Amino acid sequence: MFLNAIVIVAREVIESALVACLLIALVCIRALPCRRVLWGFSLGAVLATLYGSSVDIITPWLDYRGQEVAIVAVHIFMVGLIIALLLKDTKGPLQLDRSTSWLIILLIGFSLTLEISEIGIYVGAYSGKPDQFTSALLGSVIGAGIGISLAVLGFYTLTRLRVETSVRVIYALFALLAGGLLSQCVQILSQADLLPAQNPAWDTSSVLSETSISGQLLVALFRYEARPTWLQVLAYAGGAAFVIWLTMVRPKPSVSTQQHLE
């Protein structure tokens, strides 16, 4: 129970922490105020609470496919926000205007919505079992600490690089994140019988299992799938390639004399 809680919560935190890490790093590199980031965290907490309390209402929708469709909608919305934000940045270094503020707030907020609600549901499931609740809660706290620590390490690494290099790395990681979200959408829709079932394109579970530590980390960061279908492969490659194309063909942002926050 204790170890399971650590792994489950760490994975959920890492999934949302990656978005926050990349956004905060980009905000700092562009020397923008971090207030919008805090608003995004607040929005995420509110949305997670609302979603978690509405799961029983959402689930029966669409012939009991409501939860799957809701998750897919959130993921697609996040991909749209990522594309819009990177599009603004590739036209020139981000400026703090109303649209940028809302993109930052919404992207952080929605990236936290599903993960926080799932953690709350997981811990809440043991609230009536005192002998297991303590282990689940303590494991969740440790798992959250691991996820946050990795995000802080990632942020520190990105902000220590040269500005141009850091921006390119952020673009690339956002591209992988977008591809992973779209691939996961395909998987969820297939499991809900809203897309045709397919045989796996390949099987790398013998090389890198999803249940291993490194596999769990890749699942959390980039939605690694050991046995993806061709639809998932197409969604992942197409989404990532589109974001990379978008960031590469636009004019490169000028290297500002503004430096990273010390």
Mean pLDDT by 10 residues, the chain (262 residues): 74 87 91 87 94 92 94 96 92 80 94 89 80 80 88 93 92 95 95 91 92 86 91 96 83 46 40
Residue 257 lies in a domain: no
* Domain enclosing residue 51, as ranges: 2-249
pLDDT computed for residue 59 by the predictor = 93
Kindly state whether residue 261 falls inside one of the protein's structural domains.
no
129: in domain: yes
In a domain, 256, yes or no: no
Q: Is residue 34 part of a domain?
A: yes
- What is the SS3 assignment for the chain? CHHHHHHHHHHHHHHHHHHHHHHHHHHHHCCCCCHHHHHHHHHHHHHHHHHHHHHHHHCCHHHHCHHHHHHHHHHHHHHHHHHHHHHHHHCCCCCCCHHHHHHHHHHHHHHHHHHHHHHHHHHHCCCCCHHHHHHHHHHHHHHHHHHHHHHHHHHHHHHHCCHHHHHHHHHHHHHHHHHHHHHHHHHHHHHCCCCCCCCECCCCCCCCCCCCHHHHHHHHHHCCCCCCEHHHHHHHHHHHHHHHHHHHHCCCCCCCCCCCCC
Long-range contacts from 165-172, C-beta under 8 angstroms, 24+ separation:
166/25, 166/29, 167/26, 167/29, 167/89, 167/253, 170/22, 170/25, 170/26, 170/29, 171/86, 171/243, 171/244, 171/247, 172/244
Residue 255 maps to a domain:
no
Is 262 within a domain? no
**pTM of the shown model:** 0.88
Q: How many domains does the chain have?
A: 1
Asked if residue 139 belongs to a domain, the reply is: yes
